[in-house]
Amino acid sequence: MTTPRWFAVGSANGFEPEPGARAADAALAHDDPKLLIVFCSNLLDLEAVVAQIRRRAPDVPLVGCTTAGEIALRGPSDASVVVAALGGDGFTVETAVTTGASHDLRSAGASVARCLPTPSDRTHRALLLLTDGLAGDQQEVVRGAYGVLGAATPLVGGCAGDDLKMVSTFQVHNDRVLTDAVVAAGIASDAPLGIGVRHGWRRVGEPMLVTRSSGNFVFELDDRPALDAYLDHLGIRDSAPRDSEWFTRFALTHPLGLGRHAGEEQVRFIGGANFDDGSLSCIADVPQGGLVWIMAGDAESVLTATDAACSDSLTALDGHEPIGMLVFDCIARRGVLGEARIGHEIERLASKTGAPVAGFYTYGEIARTRGIHGFHNQTLVVLSIG
């Protein structure tokens, strides 16, 4: 007998034989799978992993990406494969992909958004987006999808990672391994889908005025080279090394916050610095003329935000028990918690429901439930599936 609605997760160590097949076998727990979602370490041979999964489920729609760490119920991991599957008569799913996304990110978001199914008996809908965060201003992807779907359809997802190399990330659609792509799964369900989004960062020090920026590049803060002003605010300009890898890891725990009229500030992940012209590159736009702050967080604030995001997503289920959770967690939050405590966050999520959990550490998070803005950095996004 077909289970009406189900969600299951499998994970496997990437250095053991056939990790894709083993993760898929665990995820394919019931009949009638409608969608496979794959999160795979950049350290593994992604094409081989996808081929292993497709041998187990050659006809099931599949989306996925590389990560900066994988998440399953047993906790966070590296060099692994996580496969989530949902299925049963209660779901209708369609998928889409756009390649060469960096040429027009807004058009890429609009194109994949058209895959959202609209059956009359599946009134709860969401569009899952997996994108290449190194392709440019990811808010443009959100704007494109919003332009097609409007305010009634939530958007959720994240940017693929490459273990902080910041060189290239990969997306998966069915049998294809791609880069510079936007992959989407339109999910229609006969039970609610709930989204929670929180970051837990707080402002530190005085604001800075963005005096020159273009898209996701910040050239000047307070009429000074942005890098100089940023390091001065942190008191380390004279001691900071001119080293790109060091800077990226340092900036993970010292993001920029953009002031908003209500709610939490939006946070911008600083992905790198140009030591020649003093500019900063972010994963999404930093508007010229706006105010920004250095942001800080600690383990307590991050875990408090985890609890709040989870509670918000469960509240949105209107009393339905969740059958599973997808989580999109910024790699910077992992850096704040430290390797000794990253497992606590997943334990807290799992303890709320006991439902299966799957996700990955991202270069940016997507959560649009109201308004046009929906791209986040250094934030936790939780999708609870009722």
What digits encode the pLDDT tens for the residues 205-230? 999 999 999 988 999 999 999 999 99
Q: What one-letter code names the amino acid at 153? A: T
Rounded to the nearest integer, the mean pLDDT of the chain is 92
Last residue of a domain, one of 249, 275, 296: 296
On the question of pLDDT at 370 being above 80, the answer is no
On the question of pLDDT at 316 being above 90, the answer is yes
Kindly state the average pLDDT of the residues 315-323.
95
User: For residue 96, what are its two tokens?
Assistant: 């889409």
Q: Are residues 83 and 220 in the same domain?
A: no
Query: pLDDT band for position 263 (50/70/90)?
Result: low
Share of the chain above pLDDT 90, in %: 74
Query: pLDDT band for position 326 (50/70/90)?
Result: very high
On the question of pLDDT at 57 being above 60, the answer is yes
Site of tokens 């405590």:
341
Residue 142's closest CA among 375, 369, 327, 371? Answer: 375
Kindly state the average pLDDT of the residues 15-21.
95
Quote the pLDDT of residue 313.
97
Quote the pLDDT of residue 372.
65
Quote the pLDDT of residue 260.
62
Quote the pLDDT of residue 248.
87
Kindly state the average pLDDT of the residues 184-195.
97
On the question of pLDDT at 1 being above 70, the answer is no
Query: pLDDT band for position 77 (50/70/90)?
Result: confident
Instruction: Report the distance separating Cα 98 and Cα 79, nearest Å.
Output: 27
Quote the pLDDT of residue 2.
60
Task: State which residues form the domain around 146.
Answer: 6-198+301-385
Kindly state the average pLDDT of the residues 145-161.
96
Quote the pLDDT of residue 75.
73
Kindly state the average pLDDT of the residues 249-259.
88
Q: Are residues 181 and 250 in the same domain?
A: no
Kindly state the average pLDDT of the residues 275-284.
92
Number of domains in the chain: 2
On the question of pLDDT at 249 being above 90, the answer is no
On the question of pLDDT at 261 being above 60, the answer is no
Residue 330's closest CA among 64, 67, 105? Answer: 67
Last residue of a domain, one of 248, 274, 296: 296
On the question of pLDDT at 262 being above 70, the answer is no
On the question of pLDDT at 264 being above 60, the answer is no
- 1 located within any domain: no
Global pTM reads: 0.89
Strands (E), 68-137: 70-72, 75-77, 80-87, 91-99, 124-131
- 270 located within any domain: yes
Q: Are residues 342 and 381 in the same domain?
A: yes
Q: Are residues 247 and 380 in the same domain?
A: no
Provide CB contacts within 8 A for 277, sequence distance 6+: 219, 225
Quote the pLDDT of residue 336.
83
Q: Are residues 244 and 361 in the same domain?
A: no
Q: Are residues 256 and 277 in the same domain?
A: yes
Q: Are residues 175 and 52 in the same domain?
A: yes
Lowest mean pLDDT among 74-83, 292-301, 346-355: 346-355
Q: Are residues 223 and 78 in the same domain?
A: no
Q: Are residues 184 and 73 in the same domain?
A: yes
Instruction: Report the distance separating Cα 240 and Cα 366, nearest Å.
Output: 32
Last residue of a domain, one of 296, 316, 343: 296
| Residue 80, strand partner residues | 13
Q: What does DSSP say about strands 270-274 and 279-282: parallel, antiparallel, or unpaired?
A: antiparallel
